[in-house]
């Protein structure tokens, strides 16, 4: 009888262990963007909340007002006219690693990934496929990726400044 209890308990334990999914997170990830034709148009957000799980789910949430420009006047225009950050305070991305089988979260290394998901910004949701890199170092992941966002895709009328920006993601997780 005793051995049956031990067996049941140990089965329950292993079932839980197998289900437990590892989630890494940060409240201070970094996302920046720049206009390819005007080097003054660039901004950094160091307060990106991001989570990455070993089941392939990845999310980024950021407040638009946390993007900091070198020039205060540009920051004001960006918030008031282009991204309308009082009306649309946040940008969110929710996606999945397409080639999850190529990534081993418990083994240090550099893994090329493709992430597919939805980016919601300025009231518009758009499906994106973005190539990037996951680096596992000391058991902790960091993510790097770059993609181009077209202003018209997100209903942003900034044509006097730029029609596109290059977005850079660099997040270190705990």
Question: Which span sits near other proteins by CB under 8 A: 7-15, 26-34, 129-137, 149-157?
Answer: 26-34
Question: Which span sits near other proteins by CB under 8 A: 8-16, 57-65, 94-102, 107-115?
Answer: 57-65
Structure tokens at 87: 């009306």
Task: Report the residue from 10, 28, 129, 137 that binds other proteins according to the rule CB under 8 A.
Answer: 28
* Distance, CA of 35 to CA of 161 (rounded, Å): 8
Task: Report the residue from 90, 94, 122, 164 that binds other proteins according to the rule CB under 8 A.
Answer: 90
Residue-by-residue DSSP string for 145-170: EEEEEEGGGGT---TTT-SEEEEEEE
Residue 53, interface with other proteins (CB under 8 A)?
no
Residue 57, interface with other proteins (CB under 8 A)?
no
Residue 72, interface with other proteins (CB under 8 A)?
yes
Cβ-in-10-Å burial (0-12, 13-18, 19+) of 27 comes to exposed
Residue-by-residue DSSP string for 15-29: HHHHH---EEEEEEE
Residue 86, interface with other proteins (CB under 8 A)?
yes
28 vs 157, beta carbon nearer other proteins: 28
* Distance, CA of 107 to CA of 139 (rounded, Å): 7
SS3 101: helix
- 137-156 mask for other proteins (x: CB under 8 A)? --------------------
Residue 71, interface with other proteins (CB under 8 A)?
yes
Tell me the number of residues near other proteins by CB under 8 A.
25
**Cα 12–chain centre separation:** 34
Structure tokens at 159: 């044509």
The CB-of-65 to other proteins minimum distance in angstroms stands at 4
Residues in contact with other proteins by CB under 8 A are: 27-30, 44, 46-47, 49, 61-66, 68, 71-75, 86, 89-90, 170, 172
């Amino acid at each position: 009888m005793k051995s049956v209890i031990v067996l049941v308990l140990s089965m329950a334990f292993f079932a839980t262990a197998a289900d437990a999914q590892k989630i890494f997170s940060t409240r201070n990830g970094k996302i920046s963007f720049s206009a390819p034709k005007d080097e003054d148009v660039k901004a950094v957000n160091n307060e990106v909340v991001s989570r990455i799980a070993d089941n392939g789910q990845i999310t980024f949430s950021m407040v638009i007002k946390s993007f900091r420009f070198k020039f205060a006047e540009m920051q004001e225009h960006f918030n008031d006219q282009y991204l309308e950050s009082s009306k649309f305070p946040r940008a969110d991305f929710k996606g999945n690693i397409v080639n999850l089988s190529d990534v081993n979260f418990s083994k240090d290394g550099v893994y090329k990934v493709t992430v597919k998901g939805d980016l919601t910004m300025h009231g518009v949701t758009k499906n994106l496929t973005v190539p990037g890199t996951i680096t596992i170092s000391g058991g902790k992941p960091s993510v790097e990726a770059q993609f181009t966002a077209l202003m018209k895709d997100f209903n942003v009328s900034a044509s006097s400044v730029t029609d596109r920006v290059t977005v850079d993601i660099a997040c270190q997780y705990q």
